[in-house]
Structure 1
Amino acid sequence: MPEEVDQRLGEIESALAAFEDRPMLYEPTEIARAGVFISIDSEGRLSVDRGYVRPEDDVLETDPDVGQNADVSSTEGQEPGTSVQRTIIAVAGGTLDAEEDDEDTAKPLPDRLITELTAHRTLALRDALAENPAIAFQAVLHNFVLTAFYRFASSGNCLEIGLRTPTFPAQAPGLRESASAKAVEARHESWKARLPRSENDLWDALTALDGGAQASLFSHCASFAVNAVYEPANRYNQSRVSAHGVRTRLDQADVLARAVGLDMVQVGWRPTVDNYLGRVTKPRILEAVREAKGESSAQLIDHLKKAEMAKEAERLLDGSGWLPEPLRLVDPDAAPVAQEGGAGPLPEFLADEEDSENVSDDDPRQLDAAE
C-alpha cells in the first residue's frame, strides 16, 4: 500500500473515531430536569451515567384522543402536559366478567411456581455437576478468582462457596518486606495481567487455560484463605475465637505445613532484635543461643544487659538456622528427645566397676574366688 494512501486511511480512521466518540449533547430544557448516576466501576474508577430523569419530572405525552371526537372544552384552562382523568361508564350488558378477564390475560408466573421449578433445576444441576469433575473444578475456580481478583464483582453466585481472606490482627515487623510477601504479590500481579478486565469474560478465559494453568491459578487463590495465626482467647476475643478453635486451627496448619514441606529458614526468616530477640526476656535469649550454639556461647553474653544481649545474640544466631517454637515444623512421628540433665552413659571405668558389683552370688567364678 502506498504511503500516502496509508496516511490518508489513518486520517479517515481518526476522523471516524472522533465522530463516534463525540460527547452526548443535551438540550438546555432537558439538562434542567435530568440528572446523573455517579458510582465506582469494577476497576475503582469514577463512573458517570448521564441522561436520567425522575418519573415525577418526566413530561407526559399528549393524549391522542384529544382533538378526535373529544370534548376539547374539558381541557380548557389546564396547563399543557397535564393528564385528564376520565370516568368510565359501563352500560348494561357491556361489562366483562372479571374472573374470565383474568384467565384470558397473560400474567407473570407466580413466585411460588418459579421457586418450585428452579428447585427441580437446581437438583438436576447438582447431579450433572457431580458427574463432571472438570467443570466442577472450573466452577469453584471461577468463584475463587472472582473473589481474589475482582473486588467489585457481584456477590450473587450460583455456587455458594466462599473464599474469605483473613486479615492479620497485628502487623509483624518486616512482614510486608519478607520474601513470602514479595512472592505472593508478584504471582498475583502476573495472574492479574493474564485475566480479562471484565468479570463477564472470566468463564471463557478460564476455559481457554490448560489443566496446569488452572491448577496453578486455583492454588494461588486457595492460598489466600490460609489462616495459621495464633490469637489469644481472652475477653477481647471471646465472641470471635475460643481456645479450642485456635488450637484446632494451629494443629491443621501443622498438617498443611508438613504436607507442603514448609521450612521457615529456607523462606528467609531469621531471628533479629526487632522480630524476636528484643521482645523476649533474657532467659529466652540465652535459651536460644544455648540451643543453637551451645552453653559456651550463652556464657559469653549472660552478663550483658538486655539490649546488648539481644544485639549480640542476633550476631551469634545469624546463619544458625535456629527458629522459635511457633515457627518450627514438628514431626509427630519423631522419637521424643531426652531431657537435658538426664543421666547419660557412665564412663567405661565406672561401667566395669558397676558390672562387677552386679555379679550374682551364685556365679561359680565368684564362689571359686571365695574359696
Structure 2
Amino acid sequence: MAKATRKKTPVAPMIEFSRSRDIPFNRIHLSDSNVRQIDVEDGLDELTHDIDRREDIVQGLNVRAVLDADGAETGDFETPAGGRRYRAIARLVQAGRFPADGLVPCLVKKANAKTSAVDDSYAENVIRLALHPLDQFKAFKRMVDDGMSKEEVADAYRTTPRYIAQRLRLARVATSLLDVYARGEMTLAMLEAFTVNPHHARQEQVWEAIQRSHNRQPWHIRDLLTETTVPTDDKRALFVGVDAYEQAGGVMLRDLFSDEDEGWLENPELLDRLVSDKLKAIADEVAAEGWKWVAVDTDLPYGHDRGLRILAGTFLDLTDAERATREALREEYERLEAENADYDELPDDVDARLGEIEAALAAFEKRPTIYDEAEIARAGVFISIGRAGELVVARGYVRPEDEAPVDVEGQDNAGDGEPGAETGAVAAHAGVQRAVITIGGEPVDAEDDEDETIKPLPERLVIELTAHRTLALHEALANNPHVAMTTLLHRMVMERYHYSAPTGCLEISVRQPYLSTQGNDLGETPSAKAIGERYDAWKADMPTDEGALWDWLAALDDASRMALLAHCVSYGINALYERPNPHSGSGVSQHGLDRRLSGADRIARATGFDMVVDGGWRPTVSNYLGRVTKPRILEAVREGAGERAAQLIGHLKKGDMAKEAERLLADTGWLPEPLRLADLDGDVAGAEGGGEAQELPDFLADDEDDGDGTDDTDTADLDDERHLAAAE
C-alpha cells in the first residue's frame, strides 16, 4: 500500500526593506499620489521652525523613482509620503537656510514594491498613534531637567511658556495619580485640578476621598485641596497684598489652568499676623490723634455701633489755592468731555486723564473732619477691613459710660479737670491721653498693662485648646467600646424619638469634624499618633471589596466588632468651641454649642478620660503661656505650683515669665479652663493644682523683693467658669 504524502505548509518569503539614500533636494518633486490634499499648509510654520531649530529632520522622505516612457529611471524622484516635510524644506530653501541641491535623507521605494504610491501615502497619514498627554508632560520635564528653560522649550514647539509650565506642573503630580490617569480612571481636567496643591500626600488623600463620592468634578477637587488656605480674593489677602505675603515667606498655591490665574495663600497664620501688624500700625497712627479707644477687627460684629453717640464734626475749609486747583480740574474735565463727545470710545490717554481728574476731585470731597478736643478725649474709633480689602476707619463714637455727667441744671459737669476723675472728666487736650487699642476684642500689649484683672482667654486659643480635647476624646472613646455603643445608641434613640426619622433603610453616619484651627503641635500628640496607628492597623486587615468587607465584618468576634465600632464612632466626637452665630442659619447656635460641650463632658466623664494622663497635654510657651497675659500666667502658676512660685516670677517680663511658668507647671497636671472637666454641679474640676513651689534658678531665687509690684492677694476664689466663659 502506497504511503500518503504529507502536504507542506507554504513558507512566506522573507521581507526585504527598501534602501535609504541621500538625494539632492532639487531632484525631488511632490507626487500627485499624496492623499493629503486639504489644508496642506496647516502647521507648516511649526514644522519649518522645528527643522530650522534642529538643523535636521527627524524622519526622511518616502520617495519613488520617476520613470520615462520606456520604464527607465530618469534620476528624479517623487514623494507620495512626506509632503509636509518637503514643503517645509522648500521654505528653508527659499529663506536661504538650505541649498537647493542639498542632500535629503530618503527612503527609496523598491521597484517591485507590492503597494502603490497612494497606499503608502494613506498608510503614513492614518496608521499612526498620537502621543499620550502623560508622555508629553514627562518629555517636557526631561527637557527642562536636561538644561532647557521653559522659554526655550516653548520656542522650540511654537507654544507659550505658560503652556509648558502647565505641562510641567502636571508631570509633578503624585506618581500614583499619574498612574490612575494613565489607566484612564481620571480625566485630564481632574488631573489639572490636582496641580493646585503640590503636596503629594494631600493629593492622594483627596483622591482617596472622592473615589467614594458621587462628586468628582474638578472644582470640587480644587475646593478640597485648598480648604485650609485663603483665596487671593479674600479681603485679608487684598488688604495685605500677595507681594507682602510672599516677601514674608508665605507660600502661594496657584492654578495655572484657570483663565483668572486664581491663587490661594497656604499660610493663614502668617496672613493673619501680617493683617494684625498692619492694622496695629494704623491703629497707632489713629490713636495719636487723641481718641480714648480704638477698636480694631477684620470683621466688626453686627450692631457694633448700637447705642453709641456719633460725634458731629466740621470739615476743614479749602484754601484759596486748593479752590483754584479744583476749579481748574473741573474745567479741564468738561473740556476733555466736549472735545471727545463724538467718539464712541475715548482714546486711552484721554480716558486715563479723566480718571486722574476724577480721583483728584474726589480727594477734595474727602476733607478731614474736625472734632472738639474734649469730645475726642471721650470718644473712640472703629477700624476694620472692607469687602474689597480697603481700610475702613470710622471716627467719633461715644460709649454711654464715657458721656460727661450732667448736673441738675442740665450743664455738663467736667469734674476737676483731671483725666480719669470720678466725676467723669476727660483730658483737656487730645494729645495727653493714651488710647486703649483692642484688636479682635483683645487689648494690645496686654502683658505690659498694670491691670492685673484676669481677662477672658483669646477665642482662637480656646479653639486650639478644644481641638486638642476633641482629638483626645476620639482616642478615649475608641478605647472604651461600651461607652461608644452607649454614645451611638443615644444618638439613634434621639433621632428616632425626638427628631425626624432617617430616610432609607438605615442612614446613620459619623461625620468627622474638621479641625480648621489648630496649633502646630496637634499632630505630634499621643492621641494623634495612636489614632493614626489604629487606623492603619484596621486598614491593613480590611478587604477593599464591598461584598468581601461585609463577610469579613460578619466573621469578626464580638470583641473585635466592638473595638472597630468604638474606633469608627470616635471620629464623630466634636468638642470644639466656635463662636455662636445668632444672626443666621450658618454656624452653631449658643444652645447647640452648650449641648456640644456638655456632651463632650459627659463622654469624658464616662470614659474616665484625663487630658494630662491620656491626652498628654502640658502647658508650654507655644501652646498657651506665651499667648496669654501676665495675670493669666501668674494665675496658672498660682493654681498649679502654689502662691510662692507665682510671687517669685511676678517681676519678670512676659517672655521670661512664660518660660519659667512652663518649667514650674511641667508635672503639676494643671489645665486651662477649656480643657478642664466640668463637675456635675457646674464647677470646673481641677481648677487648682495645689502644688508646692518648686526650686527656682538662682537668678530668680535671689530676687524676692516684696516691692516688685506683684499683687500678693489670694486668688483662690476663682470664678465658676465653664468652657464657653473662657472666650466670651
Q: What TM-score does the superposition give when structure 1 sets the normalisation length?
A: 0.50
Determine which structure has the larger helix proportion and give its number: 1
Higher relative contact order (CA 8 A, sep 6+): 1
- Relative to its length, the structure with more strand (as a share) is 2
Calculate the TM-score normalised by the size of structure 2. 0.26
